[in-house]
Amino acid sequence: MSARTDLRESARDLLAADAAKIAAVMLGIYVTYLLVGLILGYSANGMINTLQRLTFLVAIYAMVVLALNLHWGYTGLFNIGVAGFMAVGLYTMAMLAKPVEPTGGAQYPGLGLPVPIAILGGVLAAALVGFVVALPALRLRADYFAIVTIAFAEIVRLLYTASPFQEFTIFGYTMGTGGGRGILFNFQDPVVTIYRLPIFEGPVTFVNQYVEFGPADAQGVIYVGLLVVVLAGYYLLLKRTGESPFGRVLKAIREDEEATNALGKNTNAFKIKSFMLGCALMGLVGILWQFRRAGITPDAFRPHVTFYIWIALIIGGAGSNTGSILGAGIFTAGLFEGPQYLRRIIQSQISVGQPPGTFADAVGPMFALNFQPITSYLFNNMLTLQFVFMGVVLVWLMQNRPDGLLGYRTETAAAVPLGKRSDEVSETVHRADEPSETVSGTDGTSETASREDEVSDQ
């Protein structure tokens, strides 16, 4: 009996552990998608590609949500211009890395810097732009701050679209954004360089014995592996940031900036640092997200992107790094990719028929109790429905689960565990069960009143 409770408790402890939670959720997602692949009759290659794409998206979203969590979850900076900072990172990187004299139809020249330096440049540019936005916007209320950031993100997008910047010369260097036609990434892909490293030769040949695996696929897998490593880095960095005196000040600012200032903390300096760090991380995500493509247009950075990131953050629960990763996983697998796979599964199982051309043609037959046209119309517009659904989910979350789908998580804002005194363990244990009876109640007033009496009676 007690052994079983022990077991159950230790199992709960294990699940409570953040890493285990992430692993469990990701495992669930993978298993589901493997099943989906089976239903759809994917080849091994197809399966790997599915999981690779999924992992790619989860990693990218997890990173950017972590960065946003630093802004909003920790510091209370209401940034809804995330897409803008991502765009600055990516565009700066591309403009620095593009060859000075592009060949063929590869449009506009860049500075021809090595890719790693260009990436660094992109990250720094995003941080710098973050500084420029944060500096004047610091004293604004949260909602004004939000409007400034989204206006800024739109300004960035419009500037990258503007034709005068298609190609321009500054200090004798000619470069360009490509305007509305976008920018081509005609520089050496470092993943290819990594792929050509001798250590990968053996594994690639080995894998190729079992599945058809071209170099492009292998590079894709390597890249995703790389992203997961970078994600781990993000997580560690932000975990340490949160569990430190620095993070403690950020959380205090989120709660009450004026009080924090009155307690001797230069809140503006902390806010700027936090905002710049988050923006730099967003800039890097912008780069990692897109740079293995052939090119990009400014349209990729429409406010939609920011909207997705916010949904993921809210699903996971703002203020928690683990929640950020969980939210990114659930959002990507469930809301972002899920509906498309669902559609494919339905399509593979049943025939939905030729959809009517307009909504009227779909609704009209309903009056004759013919629901086939509306079904196939909705089915045909699954992508649109998906967007509607995302909006509804956000509203539902704000109404019912403002602390996140998985509930509120506390992450201690200190570099050492709090609450237990090292030399008084026994006393702490005694103390620990004392408040438990009072805390567990949901009625805040009665419980605290009784505890107040305890204080005074001591």
For other proteins, the binding residues in 160-179 under the rule CB under 8 A are 161-164
Among 211, 414, 425, 429, indicate the residue that binds other proteins (CB under 8 A): 414
- Stretch of residues binding other proteins (CB under 8 A), selected from 1-9, 29-37, 335-343, 393-401: 393-401
> Which helix (H) or strand (E) covers residue 55, if one does?
helix 44-68
SS3 136: helix
Nearest to 191 by CA among 227, 162, 139, 161: 227
- Stretch of residues binding other proteins (CB under 8 A), selected from 15-23, 33-41, 106-114, 427-435: 427-435
* Under 8 Å between Cβ of 278 and 68: yes
Residue 209 makes CB contacts below 8 A (sequence gap 6+) with none
- Least separation in angstroms between residue 267's CB and other proteins is 7
Q: Which is nearer to other proteins, 51 or 147 (CB)?
A: 147
Q: State phi, psi for 295 to the nearest 5 degrees.
A: 180, 180
Per-residue x/- marks for other proteins, 89-128, CB under 8 A? ----------------------------------------
Residue 373 tokens read as 């046209």
Q: What number of helices (H) and strands (E) belong to the chain?
A: 20, 4
Q: Which is nearer to other proteins, 53 or 251 (CB)?
A: 251
**Distance in angstroms (rounded) separating the CA atoms of residues 211 and 221:** 14
Region at 317 (left for phi over 0; alpha for psi -120 to 50; beta for the rest): left
- DSSP tag of 199: G
Among 69, 177, 260, 290, indicate the residue that binds other proteins (CB under 8 A): 260
- Least separation in angstroms between residue 364's CB and other proteins is 6
Among 82, 83, 252, 405, indicate the residue that binds other proteins (CB under 8 A): 252
| 249 in contact with other proteins (CB under 8 A) | yes
Q: Which of the residues 287 through 326 are near other proteins (CB under 8 A)?
A: 307, 310, 314, 319
| 67 in contact with other proteins (CB under 8 A) | no
- Least separation in angstroms between residue 83's CB and other proteins is 13
DSSP letters along 178-238, please? -GGG-EE--S--HHHHHHTSGGGHHHHHHHHHHS---HHHHHHHHHHHHHHHHHHHHHHHH
Among 85, 91, 152, 185, indicate the residue that binds other proteins (CB under 8 A): 152
Among 11, 392, 425, 429, indicate the residue that binds other proteins (CB under 8 A): 392
Q: Which of the residues 369 through 388 are near other proteins (CB under 8 A)?
A: 378, 381, 384-385, 387-388
| 458 in contact with other proteins (CB under 8 A) | yes
Q: Which of the residues 29 through 48 are near other proteins (CB under 8 A)?
A: none
Among 43, 188, 193, 448, indicate the residue that binds other proteins (CB under 8 A): 448
| 368 in contact with other proteins (CB under 8 A) | no
- Least separation in angstroms between residue 295's CB and other proteins is 20
C-alpha 49, offset from chain centre: 21
Nearest to 153 by CA among 104, 82, 84, 228: 84
Q: State phi, psi for 296 to the nearest 5 degrees.
A: -150, 150
| 202 in contact with other proteins (CB under 8 A) | no
| 192 in contact with other proteins (CB under 8 A) | no
Nearest to 77 by CA among 149, 125, 156: 149
DSSP letters along 326-376, please? HHHHHIIIIIISHHHHHHHHHHHHS---PPPSSHHHHHGGGGGT--HHHHH
Nearest to 111 by CA among 182, 122, 191: 122
**Distance in angstroms (rounded) separating the CA atoms of residues 122 and 171:** 19
- Least separation in angstroms between residue 208's CB and other proteins is 39
- Stretch of residues binding other proteins (CB under 8 A), selected from 37-45, 94-102, 115-123, 152-160: 152-160
Q: Which is nearer to other proteins, 48 or 70 (CB)?
A: 70
